[in-house]
C-alpha cells in the first residue's frame, strides 16, 4: 500500500512548521529512494511502525539496518538513500516539511547530515499521522492551522519520546575508530591514505571520515599530522638527530615542509624547540 498526500503551499505565511508532502508505505518491499545532495529542499522524517529497512551513510557508504520503532531525519538538501528490506517490508510513515523551530534533533540532523533514533509511544504517532491523512481527503484551506499543529505535535513529542540510535552498535563503532587511531599513531611515519586508514576500521572511506571526526574531533589527516609532530617533538628533545633526519623519521618527505608545519603547530621552529626543551642534545 502506498499513500501520498501533497499539501498546497499555505495561504498563511507565518506557520512555525508546515508539511509539504507526507504519506505511508505499508508492505511495499520495492520501496527505495536515492536523492543526490541538493535535490530535496525540505526536512525528511520517517517513522518505522512495522518491518525493517535501511539507511545508507553517504554516497557509497555502509547500510545501517533499522527496525520497528526506529526512525530517521534528513536535513534539507542532504544526500539520501534508504529503503525497505525486501523480506521484511516496512510500514513506514513519512513527512517532508519546513520549520524554523530550534529543536535539538533538527540541529543534530543539520550538523551531521542525518539523525537516526528510536522512538516510543507509537500509538500516539499513528493517531497524529492518521489525522493528517484525513485532513487531505480532500484538502481544504481551512485545514492549514490543524496540519501545522499536528506536525508541531509530532516534532515536539519526538523530542520527548525518542533517543539517538546508539547502544552497543555505536560503542562498537567508537571502539573501532579508537583502535584504528592508536594503530595510526604507532606507525604515523608511514604513508597514510584515507583508504588505508578506513580499512583498519572496516568502513568505507566516507563513513570512516565522518565517524573519525565525531569520535576524535578532527579529520584523519589532521590527526596523522598531529601524531607526526608529537613524534618529532620527542626526537628533537631527546636525540641529536638533525632536523632533516627528524623530518624523515616522522614521515615528512621534505625538511622545508616539516619546518613549516612544525612552526604552524608549535609557534617555534624545530631548532628553537630543541633549544628550549632539549636535554643536552647537540644542536644542528
Mean pLDDT of 56-67: 78
**Domain pair 2-165 / 169-277, same fold:** no
Q: In what order do the strands lie in the sheet with 91-99?
A: 2-6, 17-26, 91-99, 43-50, 70-74, 115-119, 162-164
Sequence spans of domains, the chain? 2-165, 169-277
DSSP secondary structure letter of residue 5: E
CB 218 within 8 A of CB 195: no
What's the chain's average pLDDT? 91
Mean pLDDT of 121-126: 94
pLDDT for position 284: 42
CATH superfamily name and code, 169-277: Homeodomain-like (1.10.10.60)
pLDDT for position 258: 97
Distance CA 48, CA 69 (A): 6
Res. 151 pLDDT band, cuts 50 70 90: very high
Res. 274 pLDDT band, cuts 50 70 90: very high
If we measure between CA atoms, which residue out of 107, 36, 33, 117 comes closest to residue 78?
36
If we measure between CA atoms, which residue out of 226, 236, 234, 231 comes closest to residue 261?
226
CB 68 within 8 A of CB 51: yes
CB 261 within 8 A of CB 270: no
CA distances from 20 to 1, 31, 104, 144, 181 (A): 21, 20, 21, 11, 43
Q: Which residues on neighbouring strands pair with residue 58, listed in sequence order?
A: none
pLDDT in tens, 181-201: 999 999 999 999 999 999 999
Res. 242 pLDDT band, cuts 50 70 90: very high
- CATH top-level class of 2-165: mainly beta
| Dihedrals phi, psi of 67, to nearest 5 degrees | -135, -175
pLDDT for position 106: 94
| Dihedrals phi, psi of 47, to nearest 5 degrees | -125, 125
Res. 280 pLDDT band, cuts 50 70 90: low
pLDDT in tens, 201-230: 998 998 899 889 988 999 999 999 999 999
pLDDT for position 247: 97
Retrieve residue 6's grid coordinates. 501533497
Name residue, grid cell 608511514.
Answer: 190
Retrieve residue 157's grid coordinates. 513529542
Q: Is the pLDDT of residue 11 over 90?
A: yes
Mean pLDDT of 74-102: 95
Res. 168 pLDDT band, cuts 50 70 90: very low
pLDDT in tens, 170-183: 656 777 898 999 99
Q: Is the pLDDT of residue 281 over 60?
A: no
Q: Is the pLDDT of residue 57 over 90?
A: no
CB 118 within 8 A of CB 71: yes
Res. 282 pLDDT band, cuts 50 70 90: very low
More confident residue, 114 or 22: 22
Amino acid at each position: 500500500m502506498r499513500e501520498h498526500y501533497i499539501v498546497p503551499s499555505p495561504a498563511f505565511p507565518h506557520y512555525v512548521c508546515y508539511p509539504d508532502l507526507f504519506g505511508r508505505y505499508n508492505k511495499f518491499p520495492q520501496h527505495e529512494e536515492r536523492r543526490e545532495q541538493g535535490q530535496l529542499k525540505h526536512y525528511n522524517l520517517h517513522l518505522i511502525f512495522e518491518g525493517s529497512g535501511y539507511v545508507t551513510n553517504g554516497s557509497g557508504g555502509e547500510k545501517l539496518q533499522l527496525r520497528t520503532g526506529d526512525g530517521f531525519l534528513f536535513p534539507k538538501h542532504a544526500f539520501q538513500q534508504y529503503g525497505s528490506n525486501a523480506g521484511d517490508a516496512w510500514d513506514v510513515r513519512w513527512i517532508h516539511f519546513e520549520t524554523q523551530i530550534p529543536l535539538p534533533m533538527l540541529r543534530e540532523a543539520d550538523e551531521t547530515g542525518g539523525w537516526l533514533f528510536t522512538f516510543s509511544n507509537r500509538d500516539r504517532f499513528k493517531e497524529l499521522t492518521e489525522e493528517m491523512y484525513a485532513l487531505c481527503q480532500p484538502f481544504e484551506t481551512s485545514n492549514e492551522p490543524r496540519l501545522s499543529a499536528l506536525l508541531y505535535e509530532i516534532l515536539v513529542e519526538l523530542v520527548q519520546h525518542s533517543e539517538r540510535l546508539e547502544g552497543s552498535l555505536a560503542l562498537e563503532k567508537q571502539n573501532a575508530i579508537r583502535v584504528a587511531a592508536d594503530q595510526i599513531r604507532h606507525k604515523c611515519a608511514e604513508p597514510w591514505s584515507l583508504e588505508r586508514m578506513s580499512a583498519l576500521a572496516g568502513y568505507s572511506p566516507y563513513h570512516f571520515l565522518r565517524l573519525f571526526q565525531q569520535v576524535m574531533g578532527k579529520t584523519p589527516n589532521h590527526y596523522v599530522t598531529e601524531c607526526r609532530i608529537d613524534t618529532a617533538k620527542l626526537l628533537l628533545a631527546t636525540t641529536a638527530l638533525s632536523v632533516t633526519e627528524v623530518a624523515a623519521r616522522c614521515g615528512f618527505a621534505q625538511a622545508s615542509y616539516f619546518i613549516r608545519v612544525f612552526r604552524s603547530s608549535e609557534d617555534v621552529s624545530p631548532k628553537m624547540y630543541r633549544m628550549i626543551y632539549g636535554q643536552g642534545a647537540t644542536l644542528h
